[in-house]
Amino acid sequence: MAGAFKGFGQKAIPFLKALDFHQSREWFLENRDLFEKELRDPFGDLVETLTERFAQAGLGLRGDRKKSLFRINRDVRFAKDKSPYNRHLSAILSPDGSKMGQGVFYVHVGLERCLADVAWWQPEPALLLAMRKAIATQPDKFRAMAKALRKNGLELETEGRMKRTPRGFEQISEPDLTDAIRNRHFVVQHVIDPAGIHTAALVDELVDFTLRARPLLDWGRAIEGTVLAA
């Protein structure tokens, strides 16, 4: 049932630990009520509360409890690890409310860590090429965005960065620009203290992070607009 986010249940993380230990459909079905009460339903509340707050802040990100949450079940069709359940639950808020858009907000509650990202993750080739060209041809705009992020306490993540400069950009020699052009994703991350997931204050924390990440959203959206207009 929809409502304002009040925090995840105190048994949210213990549930994930127990599920990871058992990795059993029978155990999950026996404890499904606990999963829904402590983790899934509060996650739905979080998504919908953030949607309202993001709208008020003009961030252009939205979601709902049915479409935005990822399944707790793993897709094991092509995986060596056949464990049926994830060690986390997560959700995406995006410009159109789907999981398919770019320039998204992602939130993750899991055993290893709890985190939030603002991300252009695995952009399709035309958009990724446009981002790389924008870095090469408009370095001042890229550097202004990166500087604004640093001022807000954020840095672009380096996960998945190519070891070599992609073809067509060999002439770029400035280290900050070559590093950026080698990125496959453009992401900033906020680590959430697991102890802080149990109160409504998590909403303010995540809104503050997303506002601080806005320079990345705005930079990517401007480039995306040129791709869509082409």
Q: How far apart are CA 148 and CA 215, in angstroms?
A: 7
| Mean pLDDT confidence for 189-217 | 98
The CATH number of domain 12-229 is 3.30.930: yes
Q: What does 29-79 look like in DSSP terms, one character per residue?
A: HHTHHHHIIIIIHHHHHHHHHHHHHHHHTT---B--TTTSBPPSB---TT-
pLDDT tens by residue, 113-155? 999 999 999 999 999 999 999 999 999 999 999 999 999 999 9
pLDDT the model gives residue 175: 96
Query: Nearest-CA neighbor of 83 among 111, 48, 62?
Result: 111
Look at residue 1 in the predicted model and tell me its pLDDT: 41
Listed by start position, the domains of the chain span: 12-229
Q: Is the pLDDT of residue 229 over 90?
A: no
pLDDT band at 2 (very low <50, low <70, confident <90, very high): low
Q: Is the pLDDT of residue 84 over 70?
A: yes
- 25-74 pLDDT tens trace: 999 999 999 999 999 999 999 999 999 999 999 999 999 999 999 999 98
Query: What is the pLDDT averaged over residues 185-206?
Result: 98
